[in-house]
Structure 1
């Protein structure tokens, strides 16, 4: 038996305040333009979601909450999808950090275990994001999900689900208001010989089913306002 779960990933819009800064745990609100960018992305697709899930950061949460109320859909906050903690780089411009510690910046983006800023490494972020991803797929199997989140989170999911090295994904442009769709196909009792870059295998799922696999497929339904 195969079940399909559809997940639409929506990045938040532009924030108030300085641009081109390390904005991870900083809880900036959306700007007026940022809100409009997200509106344009949402109206470009059929709003048939069964549930809306969001990062706790207000640049995601406030929009997701308003949309859920407007569409009369269930609404969840999931801290696993919060943006990475950039430590002492938080609030600083990319340019200033590069000038002050270029070697540390290179290390951070080339080595997932590197943590030069004292916040969170890419590897640590990846672990919590994929744990949250697995949990929502299990709990909302067969449903249509809107996940309002961050650029860093979207890059992690692209890397892990499509087996693209994070060093390559980190160079991808994920614009404000970008909406990308994944369809996830669950197969029960299937062979463990599925192609590795198309399937993630769990020896035993939380419901006790053996040899269950899910196959993520990215649909090129990428919208940005």
Structure 2
């Protein structure tokens, strides 16, 4: 496949586009509880979550001719999401460990309110500084390093291609912040719905462009209870 090119303010440059899909709901998503990577409970998608992903996969079906690879975080819910998307698009599925969710340590499985009640000072510190990690967990700063390393690998391996990535809230936000040149603290100001689609293009001259953020198939109501 020859590299795609994009002509914009910076002229012509090869384009690699990542279609970032957040996983569908799990028991923790529905409960609005912290759910980390492989070090946590690692719950599967619920039936509702599978249905959400299938709607999104059908919505992405026009990309089938240009997408040969779906890259998934190795966490169960994102592998399941990747399998559903890859099956719909007729693409192969590969895993990228760097795109796993942040580890939340002792907060795993607890709701925001429960954490605020049981760990008030730790929660305050975590919300105020990206270098602060939950007890036994991982900070946004630490996660950024591994996510961007994974991003570099994907951009090198799939240069000039369109790739679907099934991942989680934190890695997707970190990739968006990086693409925009925004401070890492911007992750606290973004919302991503289950099975939503975010699209970022990266150019060979170093530029990046956010094309779409937190989009849902028209069959789903973005203001439905439990979406946010």
Pair in the same fold by TM > 0.5: yes
Deviations 1:68-103 (A, max 9, x none): 234331210111000000011111121111012222
Aligned to 1:23: 35
Which secondary structure state, in structure 1, belongs to the residue aligned with residue 207 of structure 2?
strand
- On the 8 A contact 1:53/1:78 being kept in 2, the answer is yes
Which secondary structure state, in structure 1, belongs to the residue aligned with residue 53 of structure 2?
helix
Count of matched residue pairs = 199
Give unmatched runs, 5+ long, in structure 1.
188-213
Flag the 1:44–1:116 CA change in 2: closer, same or farther, 3 A. Answer: closer
Correspondence list, 1:125-204, <5 A: 125-187=143-205
Flag the 1:104–1:38 CA change in 2: closer, same or farther, 3 A. Answer: same
- On the 8 A contact 1:182/1:216 being kept in 2, the answer is yes
- On the 8 A contact 2:179/2:200 being kept in 1, the answer is no
Q: Which segments of structure 1 move beyond 6 Å, counting only runs of 4 or more?
A: none
Q: Is the aligned partner of 1:219 residue 2:215?
A: no
Using the alignment, how far apart are the partners of 2:157 and 2:14 within structure 1? 13
TM-score normalised by structure 2 residue count: 0.81
Q: What is the deviation of 1:155?
A: 1.1
- On the 8 A contact 1:35/1:63 being kept in 2, the answer is yes
Aligned to 2:86: 68
Aligned to 2:223: none
Aligned to 1:6: 17
TM-score normalised by structure 1 residue count: 0.82
Using the alignment, how far apart are the partners of 1:222 and 1:93 within structure 2? 22
Greater shift, 161-170 or 142-151, is seen at 161-170
Aligned to 2:8: none
Q: Is the aligned partner of 1:42 residue 2:57?
A: yes
Using the alignment, how far apart are the partners of 1:222 and 1:118 within structure 2? 30
Deviations 1:174-204 (A, max 9, x none): 11111011111113xxxxxxxxxxxxxxxxx
* Aligned CA-pair RMSD: 1.7
Using the alignment, how far apart are the partners of 2:56 and 2:20 within structure 1? 11
